[in-house]
Amino acid sequence: MEKIHKRNFKRNDKKYLLLFGYNQHYEESGKELKITEIPEPHMRWNPSRNEWVTYSSGRKNRTSFPPKEYCPLCPGKNLDFPTEIPFSDFEIAVFPNRWASFNSLSRNIFLDGVISRPSKGECEVIVYSSEHSHTISEMPIERVELLVKVWIDRYIELYKNQNIKYVLPFENRGEECGVTLHHPHGQIYGYPFIPPAIETELNSFQKENFLLKIMSQLETKYNLYQNDSFVVTIPPFARYAYEIWIVPKKQIEGPWKFTDIQIEDFAFCIQKVVKCYDNFLNKKCPYIMGLHASPNLEDNKFHFHVEFYPPLRHGDKPKVLAGSESMAGVFIMDVLPEESVSILKKYMS
């Protein structure tokens, strides 16, 4: 597989912008953004739900819905204003989120009767392309493979930080999913704790690999697509009408264990899912995508998988997390997973 190059560019705020690509990146930088005040987030323990809530008040000042010509994720060297990436071109860029919910400079606050901690960790932005409208469904497959390799790099590097207990690469696509910048990008959160949903998965996999147990059903009854390494499937216990999972056919803890062939197969599956959603709605479909990997680089029980949640109830009707979902955590479904398979399979070109 083609060699990947990585450039560590030291910004004016002493933080690093990482540039990944098939080609070496030597370009001199242009004008950089002004140094912004670094957030000092903190966490408070919610005893009613047994979970941490992080607070970062500076996030309300983050860039929101700028005009296309003032996009902060576009290459800025040839523009009349500075951006996060002070070059004329790049392939994939990664940099610290200026409005992070977790970072190394977080501090604690003290409130009577409230358990609190500093929000140690990291939040990174990963920009998929220099092209403003170049989403996963429209990229050449080689770029998606590069994206997978960048995820692998960030898993390995972020887990070297002793404050980080869990790494989650994810993408919010579309305004319906909270996106405020339309340039194709995702995020990587390095949490100082294992998130509740992952903790539940960890406990489940310790008892039994439920994915291997139902693999034959995933490959047949709920199958949308499969190759030698992965199955693209609608889980029989889906909480969204058109929820899709990408699941390795054999247990593997995370992408850092992928072979070159698995990287290619995985990238192809990711792009195929996004194209399916776009074909289904005949437009860029909103979704949340998250990579569920083990918190340990060596783990023979956790089964890596990717989950896609399009916020749709039926057809193009929106799914709102209302009373039962928000207050009780119990999802109410209108469409059976078996129906979703027959619907989406027509669009899995």
The region of weakest confidence among 2-6, 106-110, 290-294, 339-343 is 106-110
Cα–Cα distance for residue pair 120/122, rounded to 1 Å: 7
Number of structural domains the chain divides into: 2
Note whether 64 and 180 are same-domain residues: yes
Note whether 154 and 256 are same-domain residues: no
Note whether 264 and 289 are same-domain residues: yes
Note whether 340 and 247 are same-domain residues: yes
**With bands split at pLDDT 50, 70 and 90, how would you rate the model's confidence at 64?**
low
Last residue of a domain, one of 193, 225, 259: 193
pLDDT digits (tens, 9 = 90+) for 321-332: 899 999 999 999
DSSP structure string for 210-266: HHHHTHHHHHTTTEEEE-SSEEEE--TT-SSTT-EEEEESS--S-GGG--HHHHHHH
Task: Domain of residue 340: give its range.
Answer: 198-347
Active-site residue 305, yes or no?
no
Q: Which helix (H) or strand (E) holds 186?
A: strand 185-191
**With bands split at pLDDT 50, 70 and 90, how would you rate the model's confidence at 61?**
low
Contact 285, 242 (CB under 8 A): no
Note whether 241 and 135 are same-domain residues: no
List the catalytic residue out of 182, 183, 185, 303.
Answer: 185
Note whether 84 and 163 are same-domain residues: yes
Question: What CATH number corresponds to the domain at position 176?
Answer: 3.30.428.10
Last residue of a domain, one of 143, 178, 193: 193
Cα–Cα distance for residue pair 338/222, rounded to 1 Å: 7
Note whether 121 and 93 are same-domain residues: yes
Note whether 221 and 183 are same-domain residues: no
Single pTM value for the model: 0.95
Note whether 230 and 294 are same-domain residues: yes
